[in-house]
Amino acid sequence: MAKLSGLGGRLYRGETSVDFIGRRKIWYSFSLLLIVLSAVTIFTQGLHLGIEFKGGSSFTVNSTSASIQGAEEAVDTAGIQSQTIIQKIGNDKVRVQTDALSASQQAAVENALATKFGVSIDSIDSQIIGPSWGEEITRKAIQGLVGFLLVVMIYLAMALEGKMAIAAIIAVIHDVFITVGIYALVGFEVTPATVIGFLTILGYSLYDTVVVFDKVRENTKGIAASGRSTYSKAANLAVNQTIVRSFNTSLVALLPVGSILFVGAGLLGAGTLKDLSLALFIGLATGTYSSLCIATPILAGLREREPAMQALAKRVGNRADKPVAATTSSTNSTVERGPRNQPKRDRRR
């Protein structure tokens, strides 16, 4: 911790620096690769939507002998040929989800499950979700996502500046798209909990980005008049000054989410938690990455195109060249005077 604290101090004071802005092409190439892979995965495999979105039937059995294998055998006995998702919930529950079934098919599944696990039909929790209700949930989820982005963009434009809002929204879309691509690759079911996880990702990614942007605004205030540094250098200093804070915040957030994902869903078999925890885990990691390596370089690129910032970069570049010329001239003068001064020292001797 002492070494990390010392590193953070050197980064904040500018004694040590990571060139995030100068290496923007590396970050852009890496993100482009992830986006292309995500797009290919989404279009080839698609998302596995839960019955809340596409409609279907759900059967939950509470029995000490509940098992995934037993539920599969019961569904086969009922003669159901549709796509089936079976999850173990805790130690004594199993949930079976199927496509939309007719009344006779639903009764056959209930009878088969009751016979297999030795429970009464009335104790089986059966739910039927129609496709129209699923379409309504999908529409509301999309509306909520778009509305959230619009409100955040307006707020950022008012609280910070327009180009910061554009860069932040690009970073958020980057995070969500990559998370959706990994979701499609893993094959986890998309449920309302997943949508909640995506909205949480948006909030966290924007929080981390706003922290960095606030420091950028502080470092670049009046920069065109002072002419001490270019916009990109000042923005890069801001990233280095906030990187330790971003790392600590992300680590503290990732530890409990990782515990839910790997321990709760993986080891303990709490399948209902994996939808939310996977979205949060990927989103927190990509949100930290995008706030440092995507949002700020995009902002610097947008601002460096302004005529005032281009003139500033030219002045800073000219000022950086002058000391080099002066030093060269001073060195040449010293070399020339050396031989003429040498006889004087001989005469004093």
Q: Would you state the structure tokens that stand for residue 298, as one six-digit string?
A: 């995009």
Pairing of strands 189-190, 125-129: unpaired
Q: Would you state the structure tokens that stand for residue 16, as one six-digit string?
A: 């040590």
Residue 329 pLDDT: 46
Residue 29 pLDDT: 94
Residue 336 pLDDT: 43
Angle, helix 296-304 to helix 162-186, in steps of 10 degrees: 140
CATH number, domain containing residue 99? 3.30.70.3400
Would residue 231 count as lying in a domain?
Answer: yes
pLDDT at 221 over 80: yes
pLDDT in tens, 98-111: 887 878 888 888 88
Residue 78 pLDDT: 82
Please report, rounded to a whole number, the percentage of residues in the chain having pLDDT higher than 70.
Answer: 81
Do 192 and 44 belong to one domain?
yes
pLDDT in tens, 277-319: 777 888 888 888 998 899 999 999 999 888 888 888 888 777 7
Residue burial 131-146, b: 16+ Cβ < 10 Å; e: rest:
eeebeebbeebeeeee
Do 141 and 247 belong to one domain?
yes
Residue 17 pLDDT: 72
Higher-scoring residue by pLDDT: 172, 341: 172
Would residue 334 count as lying in a domain?
Answer: no
Q: Would you state the structure tokens that stand for residue 90, as one six-digit string?
A: 């805790």
Q: Would you state the structure tokens that stand for residue 85, as one six-digit string?
A: 């998702």
Would residue 81 count as lying in a domain?
Answer: yes
Do 304 and 212 belong to one domain?
yes
Do 193 and 229 belong to one domain?
yes
In which residue are the tokens 């960095």 written?
A: 212
Higher-scoring residue by pLDDT: 61, 156: 61
Do 124 and 179 belong to one domain?
no
pLDDT at 88 over 80: no
pLDDT in tens, 17-57: 788 898 999 999 999 999 999 999 988 888 877 777 777 88
Which residues, other chains included, contact 42 with Cβ-Cβ below 8 Å and sequence gap of 6+?
Answer: 180, 181, 184
Do 228 and 172 belong to one domain?
yes
CATH number, domain containing residue 22? 1.20.1640.10
**Among candidate residues 75, 106, 129, the one where a domain is terminated:** 129
Do 304 and 251 belong to one domain?
yes
Do 100 and 223 belong to one domain?
no
Do 211 and 99 belong to one domain?
no
Q: Tell me the pTM.
A: 0.72
Please report, rounded to a whole number, the percentage of residues in the chain having pLDDT higher than 90.
Answer: 8
Q: Would you state the structure tokens that stand for residue 154, as one six-digit string?
A: 């307006």
Res. 337 pLDDT band, cuts 50 70 90 = very low
Three-state DSSP at 67 gives coil
Pairing of strands 93-98, 84-89: antiparallel
How many domains are contained in the chain? 2
Do 166 and 237 belong to one domain?
yes
| Whole-number Å distance between alpha carbons of 218 and 235 | 10
**Among candidate residues 81, 102, 129, the one where a domain is terminated:** 129
Q: Tell me the residue range of the domain where 76 lies.
A: 56-129
| Whole-number Å distance between alpha carbons of 53 and 47 | 11
Do 152 and 101 belong to one domain?
no
Would residue 336 count as lying in a domain?
Answer: no
Do 137 and 125 belong to one domain?
no
pLDDT in tens, 225-240: 777 788 888 889 888 8
Please return the burial class of 249, using the count of CB atoms within 10 Å of its CB with bins 0-12, 13-18 and 19+. middle
Would residue 23 count as lying in a domain?
Answer: yes
**Among candidate residues 129, 144, 167, the one where a domain is terminated:** 129
